[in-house]
Amino acid sequence: VWSKHQVKKFEDNEGFQQRFIGHVETTLARSLYNCDDLAAYEATSLSVRDNLIINWNATQQRITARDPKRVYYLSLEFLMGRALDNALINMEVEKPDGKGMESSRALVSKSLDDLGFRLEDVLEKEPDAALGNGGLGRLAACFVDSMATQNIPAWGYGLRYEYGIFAQKIIDGYQVETPDYWLNFGDPWEIERNEIHVPVTFYGYVDRPSGDTSTLAPSEWIGGERVLAVAYDFPVPGYKTSTVNNLRLWKAKPTTEFDFAKFNSGDYKNSVDQQQRAESITAVLYPNDNFNQGKELRLKQQYFWCAASLHDIIRRFKKSHKPWSEFPEQVAIQLNDTHPTLAVVELQRILVDMEKLDWHAAWDIVVKTFSYTNHTVMQEALEKWPVGLFGKLLPRHLEIIYDVNWFFLKEVEKKFPKDLGLLGRVSIIEEASPERQIRMAFLAIVGSHKVNGVAELHSELIKTTIFQDFVKVYGEKKFTNVTNGITPRRWLKQANPKLAELIGQAIDDPDENYLLDMSRLTELAKKADDPDFQEKWDKVKAANKVQLADLIRDINNGVDIIDREHINNTLFDIQVKRIHEYKRQQMNIFGVIYRYLAIKRLLKEGASIKEVAKKYPRKASIFGGKSAPGYYMAKLIIKLINSVAEVVNNDKEIQDLLKVVFIPDYNVSKAEIIIPASDLSEHISTAGTEASGTSNMKFVMNGGLIIGTVDGANVEITREIGEDNIFLFGNLSENVEELRYNHQFHEAEMPTELDVVLKCIESGKFCPDNASEFRPLTDSIKQHGDYYLVSDDFESYLATQELVDEVYHGQRQEWIKKSILSVANVGFFSSDRCIEEYSETIWNVEPVKPEE
């Protein structure tokens, strides 16, 4: 009886259109005659979602039946971007001839055409799901894509923020933040699960019913405030597989319990207000990237999410009636940075207080379950919580942390009996003034069986700097490296369909199965010297540059900044990422100023524009990225870039030889246009500061070359693609300490090139109304020790940029060859490789493949 009513997926035009019209007319209560692109986007998404849900159900049933070990990826950020195009690419339908499967994109595009819509316009209506800041959040999004593609039984857990990362407006050259209320029109991709709700408690006090005074004994936490966590599920489709995994995001809602004491006392309004406050927990994503502010609401977010997720994970584990000792054989939990470290403590609390396990048996389970990824060595990013604030919000968890620390330190003392200094250095509790602080990274290390960095250099650095004492305590083996990766589905196929197709042709794989095994790209190398192929390759790049020029024109109120006529002779030099002093956008713009001044000087000396162009050929310097709202220096860098753009772009004398563009509101969907259009991209962080970087991988995968420092994953990119195919410069990380020391204690030597630039800025050239506006930027180099070592790297940066110009303009074939060879060897940076490494070396999980 049931099977007769089984819901069927659409598999052809007819089927899609039926669903589409059904959703327009019933779900949206509109008619096809007044259906605009937005409604068409919603109806298309709902139709595609229907198919995904059917596969989602099958996937979950399969996993429940086989009951394998599952992975839970806990991340406060999932920077997913748009879902529709990705779903169309990943999800397959049967081919019209019935012989196998193909991507559903063509089918949906054709069906929409027939109904009078253009897929491109419909796709544009989708707002980005921008629930992340930058690298860490986007990495989580790439990982869930790869886990689904590889049929790993994995769930992501995060928060459903009502407001994602702010939208950036540029007004008078300054960043202005506007709220990103992305749920304005409702989100067709989310499935609200009101039936799945978990109560979460805060504040209150601890009681020990046994009368036992030991905090190790089962205790009862009497909470003072309760909210509900409600689940919202987002389907995550794999590529060329019917596996659809789940991303579960929690929303905070008031409990339905009512405070009768208040109600009876006539304080009705107040008690409603209190309930409303619950929703503020998941209202907004903190817009800091690599910076810890220590706000109570942030800690509340973290506990809310950890408690709800663990509750859900344990409920699922209990379904199979296995003993607790088997929990680590059934569950692997990955901590995406220290943000979810409370989950470690929460699991210990559940096992000891609720399940009445012995403390040590419980702790053994905890450590085997968790592993921790570190994403930064920067001191200001490391999470610490004052014990006062922490203990008020989570009194029982504070006790548990003290006990965990006590046993840990006892162990350390046993191993290193006379090393009192060591005990203080590794203690989870920092004895700081004015108050003790909980070091979350140390708690994450102690509570995990594996700790990994995100690129080789970074993984070595954490072992020798911030975590060196832990290597002494635990040995090397606990610390490992998994170099980051990116999903080639979004970052090649979706962002750059023309290049993906050309590659498919070149390596004789028109079905683009190579997107599942990027090592096959090496076959491209054979074509690197083929002039016909080089021409095709170059044409794809040129077309992508036109698309970016269109975007830039739209931003500039319809007026072109990029000279269309010379577009294929203009080097697109791009730096897009969060604005941060360590990423050194300031060095980039100083380089632009230097170039501008050099052009002006040559002209003044009587050189013709042609002669000038020989030394300084056409270049467009393109920037994009958000600053944290409270980050003064980063905001000043944005202003400087825009001020320089204003002067340079309006200087008729230099005749378009140089253009400067700041693209507002850099996000995932803009990245998909910007990255495929780059000739050169900049990854120029002070050596030892950028843990990995992932946009470097995206640019290379799209045939762009890199100018970069010997930092993060640049090192391995060089190893993979060959040092002839990357422009490296600058000091090495092992010299950074000494260089900083020199700046502190010796008279700084300023390279003349930089001196010229800083003096020009100080002259007010770029801010005539407020000549000292950029003083903090120049002073940070001249007066305050040049912490990011701009003056130490500036000359080699300029020299390397000259080399770039020579190759791009003087040896174009060589350039294209480098581009092809880079793509041929970029396969290592697929997040599929990365997920395989996690699966084998950290999680010990295996795929659950759908039946063929």
Amino acid, single-letter form, for residue 666? Y
What minimum distance in Å lies between the beta carbon of 131 and ligand 26M? 12
**Number of continuous H segments (helices) and E segments (strands) in the chain:** 33, 26
- Comparison of 153 and 712: residue with beta carbon closer to ligand 26M: 712
Residue in 27, 31, 214, 293 binding ligand 26M, rule: CB under 6 A? 293
Backbone φ, ψ for residue 726 (5° rounding): -145, 145
Which helix (H) or strand (E) segment holds residue 126: the answer is: none
Residue in 51, 133, 151, 496 binding ligand 26M, rule: CB under 6 A? 133
Residue in 35, 141, 454, 482 binding ligand 26M, rule: CB under 6 A? 454
Region binding ligand 26M by CB under 6 A among candidate stretches 281-289, 591-599, 777-785, 833-841: 281-289
**CA 740 to CA 755: how far, in whole Å?**
19
The answer to whether 765 and 600 have CB atoms below 8 angstroms apart is no
Question: Measuring CA to CA, which residue among 689, 696, 790 is closest to residue 290?
Answer: 689
- Which two tokens mark 792? 């130490």
> Between residue 796 and residue 815, which ones bind ligand 26M under the rule CB under 6 A?
none
What minimum distance in Å lies between the beta carbon of 319 and ligand 26M? 34
DSSP 822-836: HHHT-GGGBHHHHHH
**CA 332 to CA 838: how far, in whole Å?**
11
Give the relative orientation of helices 359-369 and 342-349 as an angle to the nearest 10 degrees.
140
What minimum distance in Å lies between the beta carbon of 253 and ligand 26M? 23
CA dihedral 726, 729, 733, 736 (to 10 degrees): -170
Q: Which residues contact 354 (CB under 8 A, 6 or more apart)?
A: none
- Comparison of 105 and 138: residue with beta carbon closer to ligand 26M: 138
Residue in 103, 111, 146, 484 binding ligand 26M, rule: CB under 6 A? 484
- Comparison of 594 and 631: residue with beta carbon closer to ligand 26M: 631
What minimum distance in Å lies between the beta carbon of 482 and ligand 26M? 10
Number of residues binding to ligand 26M, judged by CB under 6 A:
24
- Comparison of 288 and 534: residue with beta carbon closer to ligand 26M: 288
**CA 77 to CA 174: how far, in whole Å?**
26
What minimum distance in Å lies between the beta carbon of 372 and ligand 26M? 13
**CA 595 to CA 590: how far, in whole Å?**
9
- Comparison of 142 and 622: residue with beta carbon closer to ligand 26M: 142
- Comparison of 75 and 149: residue with beta carbon closer to ligand 26M: 75
The answer to whether 439 and 382 have CB atoms below 8 angstroms apart is yes
- Which two tokens mark 170? 């540029």
Our measurement of the distance from residue 582's CA atom to the centroid of its chain's CA atoms, rounded to an integer in Å, reads 17
Binding mask 333-352 for ligand 26M (x = CB under 6 A): --------------------
- Which two tokens mark 179? 């709220």
139 lines the binding site for ligand 26M (CB under 6 A): yes
290 lines the binding site for ligand 26M (CB under 6 A): yes
Residue in 286, 514, 666, 808 binding ligand 26M, rule: CB under 6 A? 286
135 lines the binding site for ligand 26M (CB under 6 A): yes
Strands of the 705-709 sheet, one edge to the other: 658-663, 619-624, 571-576, 680-683, 705-709, 727-729
375 lines the binding site for ligand 26M (CB under 6 A): yes
- Altogether, the residues listed in the chain come to a count of 852
Residue 806 is classified by DSSP as I
Instruction: Output the CA angle 672-678-684, nearest 5 degrees.
Output: 100
What minimum distance in Å lies between the beta carbon of 823 and ligand 26M? 20
- Comparison of 19 and 635: residue with beta carbon closer to ligand 26M: 635
- Comparison of 134 and 391: residue with beta carbon closer to ligand 26M: 134
Backbone φ, ψ for residue 480 (5° rounding): -140, 170
Active-site positions read: 375, 577-578, 583, 694, 698
Region binding ligand 26M by CB under 6 A among candidate stretches 171-179, 206-214, 376-384, 658-666: 376-384
136 lines the binding site for ligand 26M (CB under 6 A): yes
What minimum distance in Å lies between the beta carbon of 298 and ligand 26M? 5
Question: Measuring CA to CA, which residue among 583, 595, 596, 656 is closest to residue 623?
Answer: 583
**CA 181 to CA 166: how far, in whole Å?**
9
Binding mask 685-724 for ligand 26M (x = CB under 6 A): -----xxxxx-----------------x------------
Region binding ligand 26M by CB under 6 A among candidate stretches 222-230, 474-482, 584-592, 684-692: 684-692
Residue in 149, 151, 242, 288 binding ligand 26M, rule: CB under 6 A? 288
**CA 341 to CA 344: how far, in whole Å?**
6
Report the residue closest to ligand 26M, judged by CB.
Answer: 135
The residues binding ligand 26M (CB under 6 A) are 133-136, 139, 286, 288-290, 292-293, 298, 375-376, 381, 383, 454, 484, 690-694, 712
